[in-house]
Each structure stands twice: as structure tokens, then as C-alpha cells.
Structure 1
């Protein structure tokens, strides 16, 4: 006997069609709606292709890189102006002190000069002495030996240069639940462990234990967003998290560009995971379902691989590792970790 199939939407047993993509069966009305939904997604993709082609034709892709150079130029100029202004103030203060010393010396010379002139008590020796003292005082003003301008080689005063690095593009697919412990990448492979701390961005949040623990502080659900204290632009770095408490909704773990100071819940530089197969790319949902694989007590390691333009998500309990390639035009360096909590009392810990 053929197994009775139910519509994936209304659960009716009268099914007339099956989608070979999602593998679900539908009754006729819902199959038509399903195809209309797919057609709408096709239209959205077509629009994205057209926008991409338009950006290519107009060289819009240059703007992100060129704007980074412009930003560096402006920061460097502001730093130079700040250093120069401070140096001018220091010179003014030191010259003022020198001027007061010279005025005191001139007063002494004038009194000596006037006394000898009135008494008609001077010879070539006194004239030569006064002439030499006047010359020395002028020279001390025009060429002060106590003041010297030198370049400061302290790190805090350094203006760093920039260079252009072209990374070889890698064609890699998004992860799915089929990725298991047989994946060749491991979180211990040439990674650097750097202490991290949480930094609140917006939403209800409470930090504790030297900012290693973040807890959703509202009595009801609502978005709470945090970032990290470190910027990542090169190398490979691993950050381990412990899910101390999780409600019925998942937490987001990923990255965003530090150059985008997000003030809302949407940011196109966001890449990461709400779950092992629920992937966010360019701030939008790209693949998977938001099921409840991640649980309280789970340990997760996020590896930020700047050199290969990708991030990895390791779920230790299921021994699964996923990865996402990062596009620099939407997520420029430097990168920062990004955490989103949704449920009251959700809590996550950085395990440094």
C-alpha cells in the first residue's frame, strides 16, 4: 500500500505534486503558491544580478577600497595636524620662558651700561664686553641651544603606512549538516588565541566577570547585540564560547566589519550562524533552518581566518565544522566578532 502523503502546508492528505527541491508534497492550491514563491525568489535573484552588472559597469566596486584609502589618509592627516599643533604649543611655551630670561639679562646689561655712561667710565674693554653680551643674547633667541625638534619614534606617535594585498580567491560552498568530523580543517591548525572581551552595541545586556560573560538583561525577549574588543585584519584567530543559558530561540555567533558602526539590527557586513545550518551572509538569511541543535552547555569555537577570507564555526558536541567565505566588498577589514541574544536571561561566555 502506498504511504499516504500530506500537504507540507495544510497537512491535508490530498497531494497532487511534489517539489524535487525541498522534497515536500503539496495539494494543488499550495503547490501553486509554492511555485509562485520560488518564482518571486527567481525575480529577486535576477534583480541582484542586474544590480551587480550595473555596479560592474559603473566601477562601483572600487568605492569600498578607495574609501578605505581615503579614510586612512584623513586619519593620518588629522594625526599629523594634532602632533604639529601640540609641538607648536610646546615651542611657544619654551620660547616664552627663554624670552623672560633674556629680558632679565638685558635689564642687567642696560643698568650697567647706563651707570658707566653717566660716569663716563668705559674703555674699549667695556664696549667689547657689552657688544659680545648683546650678540650672545640675540643668538640665544634666534638659535636656542636648549630647544631641539626631533622625530618621536614612540609607537603612540607613529603614522602607519598602508599597502595593498591581493588574496587568491577560493571557490568554496556553504556548509550543511553533512559536514562532519572528517573535514580536514581543525580549529587548532595554525590559529592564534587572543584574549577577547564583550563590548555592548545596543539592546538590553549585562556584562560580568571582566566582560567575559554577556547576559540578556531584559525580562522579555528582544534583540541584544554585542561585538568584541579586538579588530582582525590578518592571520587566523580562534575564540571559544560557552552557551551558559539559552531559551527557545538561538543565539547568533559571527562577525561584522568594524568600519560599519551598526546602529540598527540590519548590517550587510554581517556573516555567521544562528545554527549549524542557518547561515547569514551579507546580513541576510542564505541557507538552512533555525532548529534547536545548539543547547545550553554547548561549546562553540569561532575561527576568524583573515588570510583566507573565511570564518569557521565548530560545534564541539556534534563534532561538526562549518565555514563561510567572506566578501571584502561587503565586509571590509578590520573584522570584529558579533553576538546577538534574543531571549531573556540568555547568557554566553568567552573562554579565553
Structure 2
């Protein structure tokens, strides 16, 4: 007489494994097999839930400013504007300093012209050439006050861009084929 040994249930190891799961190839007793199927059913519920969430997101219209990529562009814009504002503030400070310096020089030149005009008037020692010269000097001072010649604003074309450009590129990937299924 031949004896065969019974295979035990892989879950409880108490009862004989009478059923094999085709998915995980484990042997189960009838009680553990029912529990195993209930666990699989819960996992299927999770898959269906994730499916429904993704379906809902795919069916919703794109919302402005909600996608991560749009937020990334907004962050780049904010950082770039911050850099521009910092540079503009620095340039304004430099211009105010140079304007003050220029104004001091112009004030000194104006004082000298004023002294010559006053002396010419007081001494009644002037003619058309002096009047023309003083008028030309005053006009030059006024022009220098309006458009100083001791500085200018220019773009630095020899340095790499301070603000990095960004661009959107489309990438092509082989998408995994999704088998048709019923949902």
C-alpha cells in the first residue's frame, strides 16, 4: 500500500492544501482560500478606485495654473523678475550716486559762470561775445543736467545671460500598450 503525504496550506499550515491559486501558485485549505479571495477582491477594489480617479482627472478640462509644469514656469518667472528688480535697484542706486556727483560738478561750474556774469554786470564790462559765451555755457550746463555725459546705460553683451531662458520641449516615449478591458 502506498501512502501519499498531504500538502499543507501555505497560510495556516494546519489543514491540507486542497486548492492551488493560479496567480501566486500557493496551496490553500478551503477556509484560507476564501480569505485569500477576499484579499484579492480588496486589492481589485483599490485598482478600480485608482482607475476611477485617473479617469476623472483625464476627463476634467485642464485648469489654468494647476499643473506642476505651469507652476514651474511661474516660479521661473518670479525668480527672473526678482533678479531683474534687484539689478534695477542696484542700477538706480548707481545712477543716483552719479547724478549727485554730476550735480556737484555742475553746481561748481554754474557758480563760476554766475560769478563772471555778476562781475560783468557790476563792472559793466561785457559785450555780445560775452553774452553769447555765457548763454552757451548755461545751455551746456542745462543739457548736462538733463542728459549727463558722465554715464550711460547699456546692455552687457559680452556676458552670458543673467536670466536663463527656459523652453518647453516635447518628448516622445513608447507608451506601454494598455490592453482593452472593461471598466
User: Could you tell me the TM-score, scaled by structure 2's length?
Assistant: 0.79
1:166 to 153, 167, 170: 170
Q: How many aligned positions are there? A: 172
Q: Residues 3 and 166 (structure 1 numbering): CA distance in 2 closer, same or farther, change over 3 Å? A: farther
- State whether structure 2 residue 34 is matched by structure 1 residue 32: yes
1:225-248, Cα deviation, whole Å (9 max, x unpaired): xxxxxxxxxxxxxxxxxxxxxxxx
Kept in 1: contact 2:20–2:26 (CA 8 A): yes
Farther off after superposition, 41-50 or 72-81: 72-81
- State whether structure 2 residue 43 is matched by structure 1 residue 41: yes
Kept in 2: contact 1:4–1:13 (CA 8 A): no
Shift of 1:13: 5.0
Residue in 1 that maps onto 2:138: 134
Residue in 2 that maps onto 1:72: 76
Shift of 1:172: 5.3
CA distance in 1 between counterparts of 2:10 and 2:92 reads 75
- State whether structure 2 residue 160 is matched by structure 1 residue 155: yes
Q: Residues 151 and 4 (structure 1 numbering): CA distance in 2 closer, same or farther, change over 3 Å? A: farther
- State whether structure 2 residue 57 is matched by structure 1 residue 55: yes
Output the aligned Cα RMSD.
Answer: 2.5
Shift of 1:105: 1.2
Task: Compare relative contact order (CA 8 Å, sep 6+) and give the higher one, 1 or 2.
Answer: 1
2:18 to 16, 19, 22: 16
Q: Residues 111 and 19 (structure 1 numbering): CA distance in 2 closer, same or farther, change over 3 Å? A: same
CA distance in 2 between counterparts of 1:9 and 1:81 reads 67
What SS is found at the alignment partner of 1:66? helix
- State whether structure 2 residue 106 is matched by structure 1 residue 102: yes
CA distance in 2 between counterparts of 1:25 and 1:51 reads 35
Kept in 2: contact 1:7–1:13 (CA 8 A): yes
1:275-325, Cα deviation, whole Å (9 max, x unpaired): xxxxxxxxxxxxxxxxxxxxxxxxxxxxxxxxxxxxxxxxxxxxxxxxxxx
Higher strand share: 1
Paired residues for 1:290-329 under 5 Å? none
CA distance in 2 between counterparts of 1:49 and 1:113 reads 91
Q: Which has the larger radius of gyration?
A: 2
Higher helix share: 2
